[in-house]
């Protein structure tokens, strides 16, 4: 049985861990939760997004269906979805017309390093070490369209030579020491959900590469119920963190779209944001302390205070470090008591402009709902296409609702948009917030669309993530990318980016019509996050991923020229490296590079993110190793 299919027995390391901080304080306030149980039905797919038992299909009627039992769409038949995609993108999608996957195809051979492997076998048990080809392949990529396309229809040129699974901090320290002594590259691996090529191995790396999978360092080590803090290991997955904290009456409040699969360590390494950021903050607001194993030792503190003024804090370098500086082993995070009330809501607006004005007013007034998102008209229609066929009285109800919205209220079906909301807090606070929000919406022509639609819209986030791999089988490529932008430039950025994509798609002579849509998500005093989705038909193209990347890069250029950021929460990885000189001065880039070379002079954490993997430093190191091997 492969290591990915079985749990590993772990020791209770509470007394050993450097994360038992505030050592002078008696632990009377602390709870020590048990290990998170391993569930056999939570097997994740190796070649597609998500759980193995879930995903879209086309049935004998030519209708879309969704397998499994985990999601609101599970078991449903969606007769409108396939025809809607065909009409929107001017393509044909048929059950029998499938681009057959060759996964796993052309897995690169592993480099041998007997001396290092001998050391690893002294540090870890046999079941914590994997040289299996498919396991190595999975650890050599994230979730970009190019990576997922290549594992099915092409190949990855470089992947890890070994995968290890530490279960305690001491093992991580010994692994790093062994890597330093043997000039081995270490790449931390969390949930594998990166969409920036952050997990891809540098093609020019000739050294032995080890993927350090943190999945079994997944415990909540302690919960401080009085001071509302918890110490959590970096490999803990979002859904497990949420479920276990809830048992004790708490939440972190951090819910990225990838919460089912991404990890605490990954959130810190990418400087992530979540759907409920408005209430609970981004990851940098939630994390109080972080423990990191570096080539020179550990970053850790003896105590945690509400705030400090102690000079430059090296731990801050870890936010957004993307695996370049060390291995995050655990973090201490803020906790929030579970809200007394949780209500969903939805509002229809006559146009994207009115909906955006509503979002701006919410931000200006302060204290917006925990989550408020606005989707454009295309995404609104897309959500309608995901609904199952209606029967009986539901048909009459649907027609009446449509009549009220389009005939009585006068909403144009080709312009109307929808906002979904989540309210959390005390009963009184939620009630007051709802009144204020709906009053603000009315000023912009908004019409309440019900809590049921709000909840469905919120939960839909998790199931639509499975669309990318499904449509890829039918000759369509899709990807998401995000930015943040000041309020005054938000509308023009959305309009400019969409127009530029359509223009360039036509100029490139690509088949069909591009699928382009956006939504406004996290809001700030000064602006908001905008999330784009892009889809194209690749039938007949010589190099589909390259063509898609060209179009996405053009969109990114337009975003930057329209006042948007390079990234809001996905990070840089290798996908966006070449844009850094456009947003940072040479001095800023040099400072980042010098810091990397100072704290990791031999580039042991040689994942190649943020800093160009073809840099002089990297090539010099490879020449050094070549000379030693000769």
Q: Report the C-alpha gap between 630 and 609 in whole angstroms.
A: 29
User: Radius of gyration (Cα) for the chain, nearest Å?
Assistant: 25
Per-residue pLDDT at 410: 78
Average pLDDT over residues 7-24: 44
pLDDT at 314: 87
| pLDDT (mean) for 466-473 | 97
pLDDT of residue 618: 42
Cα 137 from Cα 134, distance rounded (Å) = 5
Is the Cα dihedral 498, 499, 505, 508 positive or negative?
negative
Query: Residue 363: in which H helix or E strand, if any?
Result: helix 352-365
Asked if 595 contacts 540 with a C-beta cutoff of 8 angstroms, the reply is no
Q: Where in the chain is the domain with CATH 3.30.465.10?
A: 220-337
- Cβ distance 483 to 576 under 8 Å? no
Residues of the chain with CATH 3.30.70.3450: 341-454
Distance CA 159, CA 154 (A): 14
Phi, psi (rounded to 5 degrees) for 73:
-80, -15
Q: What pLDDT is recorded for position 29? A: 83
Active-site residue, 531 included: yes
Say which DSSP state 51 is in: B
**Angle, vertex CA 489, rays to CA 488 and CA 494, nearest 5:** 135
Q: Tell me: the pLDDT tens digits for 131-146?
A: 999 999 999 999 999 9
Q: Alpha-carbon distance 226 to 244, whole Å? A: 17
Question: What percentage of the chain reaches a pLDDT higher than 70?
Answer: 90
Distance CA 227, CA 240 (A): 22
pLDDT above 80: residue 390: no
Sign of CA dihedral 122, 123, 128, 129: negative
The pLDDT value given to residue 37: 75
Question: How does pLDDT run across 47-72, given as a tens digit for each residue?
Answer: 999 999 999 999 999 999 999 999 99
Active-site position among 71, 344, 531, 533: 531
SS3 state of residue 288: strand
What's the pLDDT at 472? 98
pLDDT for 3: 44
> What are the pLDDT digits (tens) for 607-627?
999 976 444 344 444 444 434
Confidence of residue 26 (pLDDT cuts 50, 70, 90): low
Q: How many CB atoms lie within 10 A of CB 310?
A: 7
For all residues of the chain together, what is the average pLDDT? 91
The pLDDT value recorded for residue 611 is 78
> Residue 14 has what pLDDT?
42
Calpha distance 284→267 (Å, rounded)? 9
Q: How confident is the model at residue 36 (pLDDT cuts 50, 70, 90)?
A: confident
Angstrom CA distances, 493 to 33, 347, 470, 597, 610, stand at 47, 23, 30, 37, 25
Residue 398: pLDDT band by 50, 70, 90 thresholds?
Answer: low
Domain with CATH 3.30.300.330 in the chain: 467-580
> Per-residue confidence at 40, pLDDT binned at 50, 70, 90?
confident
> Tell me: the pLDDT tens digits for 244-294?
999 999 999 999 999 999 999 999 999 999 999 999 999 999 999 999 999
pLDDT tens string 308-362:
898 988 889 999 999 999 999 999 999 999 999 999 999 999 999 999 999 999 9
Do residues 99 and 153 lie in contact, with contact meaning Cβ atoms separated by under 8 Å? yes
Model confidence at 601, pLDDT cuts 50, 70, 90, reads very high
Has domain 341-454 been given CATH number 3.30.70.3450? yes
Q: Assign 392 a pLDDT band (cuts: 50, 70, 90).
A: low
- Alpha-carbon span 199 to 191, nearest angstrom: 11
Q: What is the pLDDT of residues 164-177, one digit of tens each?
A: 999 999 999 999 99
Q: For the residues 554-582, what does the mean pLDDT come to?
A: 97
**Does residue 79 contact residue 63 with C-beta atoms inside 8 Å?**
yes
Q: Which CATH number fits domain 220-337: 3.30.70.100, 3.40.50.1260, 3.30.365.10, 3.30.465.10?
A: 3.30.465.10
Residue 564 banded pLDDT, cuts 50, 70, 90: very high
- Residue 187 is predicted with a pLDDT of 98
| pLDDT tier, 630 (very low <50, low <70, confident <90, very high otherwise) | very low
Rounded Cα–Cα distance for residues 2 and 615 (Å):
37
> What's residue 572's pLDDT?
97
Over residues 209-256, the pLDDT tens digits come to 999 999 999 999 999 999 999 999 999 999 999 999 999 999 999 999
Structure tokens of 104? 């796993």
Query: What is the DSSP secondary structure assignment for residue 399, as one 8-state letter?
Result: H
Averaged over 92-118, what is the pLDDT? 95
Q: Which CATH number among 3.40.1260.10, 3.30.300.330, 3.40.50.10260, 3.40.640.10 corresponds to the domain 467-580?
A: 3.30.300.330
Residue 1 has pLDDT above 70, yes or no: no
Distance CA 21, CA 19 (A): 5
The secondary structure element, H or E, covering residue 546 is helix 544-561
pLDDT at position 404 is 59
Name the token pair of 67.
């397998």
| Residue-wise pLDDT tens digits, 438-454 | 999 999 999 999 999 99
> What is the chain's length?
630
Threshold 0.85, pTM exceeds: yes
Closest of 580, 539, 520, 588 to residue 556, by C-alpha: 580
Q: Edge-to-edge, what's the strand order for the sheet holding 77-78?
A: 55-58, 64-67, 77-78
- Please tell me which residue, 485 or 106, carries the higher pLDDT value: 485
pLDDT at 23 over 90: no
Alpha carbon of 421 to those of 71, 429, 523, 617: distances in Å? 19, 15, 12, 48
pLDDT at 629 over 70: no
Q: What is the mean pLDDT of residues 551-574?
A: 98
Residue 403: its pLDDT value, please?
52
- Residues in contact with 386: Cβ distance below 8 Å, sequence separation at least 6, in sequence order: 73, 78, 81, 460, 464
495, containing H or E segment: helix 487-507
Most distant CA atoms of the chain, gap in Å:
81
Assess contact for 350 and 416: CB atoms under 8 A: yes
């Amino acid at each position: 049985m492969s290591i990915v299919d079985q749990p590993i027995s772990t020791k209770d390391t509470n007394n050993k861990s450097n994360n038992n901080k505030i050592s002078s304080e008696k632990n009377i306030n602390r709870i020590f939760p048990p290990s998170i149980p391993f569930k056999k039905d939570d097997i994740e797919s190796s070649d597609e997004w998500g759980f193995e038992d879930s995903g879209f299909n086309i049935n004998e009627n030519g209708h879309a269906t969704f397998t499994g039992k985990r999601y609101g769409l599970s078991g449903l038949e969606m007769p409108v979805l396939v025809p809607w995609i065909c009409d929107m993108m001017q393509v044909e999608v048929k059950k029998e017309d499938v681009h057959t996957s060759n996964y796993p195809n052309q897995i690169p051979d592993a480099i041998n390093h007997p001396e290092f492997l001998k050391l690893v076998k002294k540090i870890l048990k046999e079941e914590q070490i994997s040289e299996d080809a498919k396991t190595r392949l999975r650890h050599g990529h994230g979730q970009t369209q190019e990576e997922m396309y290549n594992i099915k229809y092409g190949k990855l040129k470089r992947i890890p030579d070994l995968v290890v699974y530490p279960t305690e901090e001491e093992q991580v320290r010994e692994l790093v020491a062994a890597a330093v002594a043997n000039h081995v590259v270490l790449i931390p691996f969390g949930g594998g959900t990166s969409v920036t090529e952050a997990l891809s191995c540098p093609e020019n790396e000739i050294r032995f590469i080890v993927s350090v999978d943190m999945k079994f360092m997944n415990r909540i080590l302690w919960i401080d119920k009085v001071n509302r803090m918890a110490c959590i290991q970096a490999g803990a997955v979002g859904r497990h963190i949420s479920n276990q904290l809830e048992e004790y009456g708490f939440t972190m409040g951090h819910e990225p779209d990838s919460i089912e699969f991404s990890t605490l360590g990954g959130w810190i390494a990418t400087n992530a944001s979540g759907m409920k950021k408005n209430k609970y903050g981004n990851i940098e607001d939630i994390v109080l302390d972080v423990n990191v194993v570096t080539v020179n030792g550990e970053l850790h503190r003896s105590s945690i205070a509400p705030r400090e003024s102690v000079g430059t804090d090296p731990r801050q370098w870890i936010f957004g470090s993307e695996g370049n500086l060390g291995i995050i082993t655990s973090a201490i995070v803020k906790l929030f008591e579970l809200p007394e009330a949780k209500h969903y809501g939805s509002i229809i607006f006559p146009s994207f402009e009115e909906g955006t004005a509503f979002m701006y007013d919410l931000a200006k007034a302060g204290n917006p709902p925990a989550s408020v998102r606005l989707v454009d008209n295309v995404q609104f229609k897309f959500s309608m296409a995901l609904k199952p066929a209606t029967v009986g009285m539901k048909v009459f109800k649907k027609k009446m609702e449509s009549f009220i919205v389009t005939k009585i209220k006068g909403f144009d079906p080709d312009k109307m948009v929808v906002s979904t909301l989540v309210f959390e807090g005390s009963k009184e606070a939620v009630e007051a917030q709802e009144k204020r929000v709906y009053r603000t919406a009315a000023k912009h022509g908004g019409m309440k669309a019900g809590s049921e639609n709000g909840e469905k819209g919120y939960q839909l986030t998790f199931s639509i993530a499975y669309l990318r791999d499904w449509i890829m089988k039918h000759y369509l490529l899709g990807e998401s990318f995000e930015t943040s932008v000041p309020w005054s430039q938000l509308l023009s950025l959305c309009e400019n980016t969409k127009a530029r994509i359509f223009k360039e798609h036509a100029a490139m002579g690509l088949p069909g019509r591009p699928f382009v849509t956006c939504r406004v998500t996290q809001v700030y005093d000064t602006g908001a996050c905008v999330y784009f989705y892009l889809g194209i038909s690749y039938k007949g193209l010589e190099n589909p991923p390259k063509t898609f990347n060209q179009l996405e890069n053009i969109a990114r250029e337009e975003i930057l020229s329209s006042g948007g950021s390079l990234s809001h929460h996905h990070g840089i990885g290798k996908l966006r490296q070449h844009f850094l000189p456009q947003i940072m001065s040479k001095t800023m880039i040099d400072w980042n590079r010098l810091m990397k070379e100072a704290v990791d002079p031999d580039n042991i954490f040689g994942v190649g993110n943020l800093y160009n993997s073809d840099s002089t430093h990297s090539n010099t190191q490879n020449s050094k190793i070549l000379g030693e091997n000769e």
